[in-house]
Amino acid sequence: MRSDSKIYVAGHRGLAGSAILRRLRAAGYTNIVTRTHAELDLIDQTAVHSFFERERPECVFLAAGKVGGILANNTYRAQFIYENIAIQSNVIHGSFRAGVSKLLSLGSSCIYPRACPQPIKEEYLLTGPLEPTNRPYAIAKIAGIEMCWSYNRQYGTKYLCAMPTNLYGPGDTYDLQSSHVLPALIRKFHEAKVRHEVTVPIWGTGSPLREFLYSDDMAEACVFLAQLDRDQLSTILNDSQPPLVNVGCGEDHSIRELAELIKEVVGCKAQLSWDHSKPDGTPKKQLDVSKLSSLGWKARTSLPQGLRLAYEDFLARGAAFRA
Ligand SMILES: NC(=O)c1ccc[n+]([C@@H]2O[C@H](COP(=O)([O-])OP(=O)(O)OC[C@H]3O[C@@H](n4cnc5c(N)ncnc54)[C@H](OP(=O)(O)O)[C@@H]3O)[C@@H](O)[C@H]2O)c1
């Protein structure tokens, strides 16, 4: 990518997309195109195709999608599969029609089988049953990977799929009905602190192990991937495997450990109260990031450091955060 290459960031106001936009600007890219959801509904195929024909970007970061935590995924199953398939289908095919040379589509670590060996290698895709609570979302994301791979094989495109682990950072969603575990805990501990509550109820046993990546680190990895040259790309793009790269920090933490860390960062004195009647989800989820490390990228924000930055952002946005 040249510094004046036209780059479209889809979903630029979301957690992942806003981090990619910040990273591109910081790296000196000056010709960035964005559209809000209200300006361009990515589910509308006609609108998306005419947008691509008009703008003709050279590079696309696909960070738009219907995203949520376990409750939202399990409740809005139809919306999760329909909206994610439609968005990907329109953006990937629209990109191809407009001659986009580089596309990086964001997926998620939940595309991998529920019980696959840990840490999770890219090659474990489609080797076993998925976690039932987010199966519609995972299948939509798998369809996106298959699309990129198929376009690469049939049309010779160079479309990549980055699979980030759980993200957190500036611009996260703190609505308790739809948020992921980390932002939900930030909000719960903050509210418990200001209301002087004595306990904070938390779903599950606290034993599941999860990996968390600061969104700016994820964005750095995505821009790094988009900047790879033909030789470097050949290790990811070949006919024998999907064009997948795991993006994580390579270490996991128990939910209990995470909750204790957030409690400390927030400065909350309440006790944790674990609700064992609620589901834990997959016992352990950690990505094998050796493919990305071998290309030369490594995450740099530690969890305590990232949590302090995320809490500062939560406080700075105050009532304006998307609840
Ligand atoms: N959050 C995570 O932990 C995580 C982890 C791994 C991978 N990812 C991936 O990153 C991508 C983005 O996730 P996120 O966490 O950044 O989600 P997010 O904060 O909810 O942002 C989603 C973005 O998509 C846009 N969007 C949704 N539906 C749209 C539509 N029909 N037309 C146009 N824009 C639409 C939203 O626009 P509005 O704000 O205007 O509605 C928003 O900008 C997802 O595809 C997900 O697979 C996220």
pLDDT reported for residue 200: 95
How far is ligand 1, taken at its centre, from the CA of residue 196, in Å?
34
Q: What share of the chain is helix, strand, coil (3-state, %, to 5)?
A: 45, 15, 40
Per the CB < 8 A criterion, the answer to whether 182 and 257 are in contact is no
Instruction: Please say if the pLDDT value at position 322 is more than 70.
Output: no
How far is ligand 1, taken at its centre, from the CA of residue 296, in Å?
27
Residue nearest to atom 36 of ligand 1 (CA): 11
Residue nearest to atom 26 of ligand 1 (CA): 64
Residue nearest to atom 33 of ligand 1 (CA): 37
Per the CB < 8 A criterion, the answer to whether 127 and 179 are in contact is no
CA 88, CA 84: separation in Å to the nearest integer?
Answer: 6
- Environment class of residue 46 by beta-carbon count within 10 Å: exposed (0-12), middle (13-18) or buried (19+)? exposed
How far is ligand 1, taken at its centre, from the CA of residue 66, in Å?
6
How far is ligand 1, taken at its centre, from the CA of residue 63, in Å?
6
User: Angle between the 255-266 and 303-317 helix axes, to the nearest 10 degrees?
Assistant: 50
Stretch among 21-30, 64-73, 202-211, 256-265 having the lowest mean pLDDT: 64-73
How far is ligand 1, taken at its centre, from the CA of residue 269, in Å?
33
Residue nearest to atom 27 of ligand 1 (CA): 65
174 or 292, greater pLDDT: 292
Mean per-residue pLDDT for 164-193?
90
Atom of ligand 1 nearest to the CA of 68: 20
pLDDT reported for residue 152: 96
Mean of the per-residue pLDDT values of the chain: 94
Site to probe by mutation for ligand 1, drawn from 67, 79, 175, 210 as the one with most ligand atoms within 8 Å of Cβ, is 67
pLDDT reported for residue 283: 85
Catalytic residues, by residue number, are 137
pLDDT reported for residue 1: 86
Residue nearest to atom 45 of ligand 1 (CA): 65
pLDDT reported for residue 323: 43
Residue nearest to atom 11 of ligand 1 (CA): 63
- pTM exceeds 0.85, yes or no: yes
Residues with Cβ within 8 Å of 8's Cβ and at least 6 positions away in sequence, in order, are 32, 33, 34, 55, 57, 59, 60, 61
How far is ligand 1, taken at its centre, from the CA of residue 322, in Å?
13
At 100, phi and psi to the nearest 5? -60, 125
- pLDDT, tens digit, 9 for 90 and up, residues 5-33: 999 999 999 999 999 999 999 999 999 99
Pocket, ligand 1, Cβ cutoff 6 A:
11, 13-17, 36-37, 41-43, 63-67, 83, 87, 106-108, 164, 166-167, 173, 180
Instruction: Please say if the pLDDT value at position 209 is more than 80.
Output: yes
Mean per-residue pLDDT for 182-189?
94
- pLDDT, tens digit, 9 for 90 and up, residues 231-260: 898 888 888 999 999 999 999 999 999 999
CA 133, CA 137: separation in Å to the nearest integer?
Answer: 9
At 66, phi and psi to the nearest 5? -90, 115
Stretch among 138-147, 151-160, 217-226, 275-284 having the lowest mean pLDDT: 275-284
Q: What angle do CA 83, 22, 6 make, to 5 degrees?
A: 75
